[in-house]
């Protein structure tokens, strides 16, 4: 039965199976790195929650459009995850561990119903990263490096093909760009009004109708970086 299901699923090994094998061989030869990569690939997403908290602290003293972008970060991640999960169901690509049984794996081979393309980890961290670039260039760069490492770790531990990660990153970037830009266009006014109410201690002070005071507030998404 397992063989029938595998045959019906999309075979990603024909795309970049050799790269996958090269990476898992590298993992086999770098046992000193296995522990770190296993921990990072498992709980590294928590680091991006830390980045969002740092972004919140920065956005509190910036314009309302920056705070809007910060709020868009977790929204982008959720929307991108849902879209990515739909793609997974349609493509139904079997995990590489089924195409290459006996390959060195750090992460246990998932069930056949847990499809490989695109990588959920990659799409989520990419979505958060793009929104953070609208908050702070420096924070966005740090998050981007962490996101690329997350993507590499998914191949290193044997969970994904390289194309799973690359497409996951692309989906995350595109969805987050759309969500963040739409949020800044249509929700900044709402966020600004919220900043003038009881949520001011959390969201920071509102803009002042484009006044000089607002113009001189720190804008980490622009020349402040």
Share of the chain above pLDDT 70, in %: 87
**Residue 148: inside a domain, yes or no?**
yes
- Burial class of residue 148 (count of CB atoms within 10 Å of its CB; 0-12, 13-18, 19+): middle
Backbone phi and psi for residue 10, each to the nearest 5 degrees, phi listed first: -65, 135
**Residue 213: inside a domain, yes or no?**
no
pLDDT in tens, 90-108: 888 889 988 888 788 888 8
Q: State the pLDDT at residue 108.
A: 87
Q: For position 95, which CATH number holds?
A: 1.20.144
**Three-state DSSP state, 93:** strand
Number of structural domains found in the chain: 1
First to last CA, the chain: 56
Which DSSP symbol is given to 110? Answer: P
Give the helix, strand, coil percentages of the chain, each rounded to 5. 70, 0, 30
**Residue 204 has which token pair?**
């920071």
State yes or no: pLDDT of 214 exceeds 90.
no
pLDDT in tens, 61-86: 888 899 999 999 999 999 999 999 99
Q: State the pLDDT at residue 10.
A: 63
**Residue 28: inside a domain, yes or no?**
yes
Backbone phi and psi for residue 147, each to the nearest 5 degrees, phi listed first: -70, -40
**Three-state DSSP state, 48:** helix
**Residue 179: inside a domain, yes or no?**
yes
**Residue 124: inside a domain, yes or no?**
yes
State yes or no: pLDDT of 161 exceeds 60.
yes
Report the candidate in 2, 7, 185, 175 with the shortest Cα–Cα distance to residue 92. 7
d(CA 217, CA 96): 50
**Residue 73: inside a domain, yes or no?**
yes
Q: State the pLDDT at residue 2.
A: 41
Under 8 Å between Cβ of 93 and 220: no
**Residue 49: inside a domain, yes or no?**
yes
Query: CA angle 217-218-222, nearest 5°?
Result: 120
pTM of the model: 0.84
Mean pLDDT of 32-43: 93
């Amino acid at each position: 039965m397992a063989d029938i299901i595998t045959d019906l699923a999309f075979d990603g090994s024909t795309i970049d199976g050799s790269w996958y094998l090269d990476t898992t061989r590298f993992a086999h030869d770098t046992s000193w790195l296995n522990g770190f990569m296993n921990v990072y690939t498992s709980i590294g997403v928590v680091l991006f929650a830390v980045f969002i908290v740092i972004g919140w602290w920065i956005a509190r003293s910036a314009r309302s459009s920056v705070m809007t972008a910060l709020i868009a970060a977790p929204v982008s991640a959720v929307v991108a995850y849902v879209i990515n999960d739909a793609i997974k169901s349609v493509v139904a690509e079997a995990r590489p561990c089924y195409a290459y049984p006996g390959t060195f794996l750090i992460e246990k081979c998932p069930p056949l119903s847990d499809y490989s393309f695109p990588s959920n980890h990659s799409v989520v961290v990419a979505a958060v990263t793009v929104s953070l670039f609208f908050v702070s260039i420096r924070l966005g760069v740090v998050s981007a490096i962490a996101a690329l490492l997350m993507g590499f770790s998914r191949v290193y531990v044997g969970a994904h093909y390289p194309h799973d990660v690359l497409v996951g990153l692309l989906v995350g970037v595109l969805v987050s760009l759309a969500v963040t830009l739409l949020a800044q266009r249509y929700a900044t006014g709402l966020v600004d009004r919220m900043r003038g109410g009881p949520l001011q201690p959390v969201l920071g002070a509102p803009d002042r109708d484009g006044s000089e005071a607002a113009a001189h507030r720190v804008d980490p998404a622009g020349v402040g970086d």
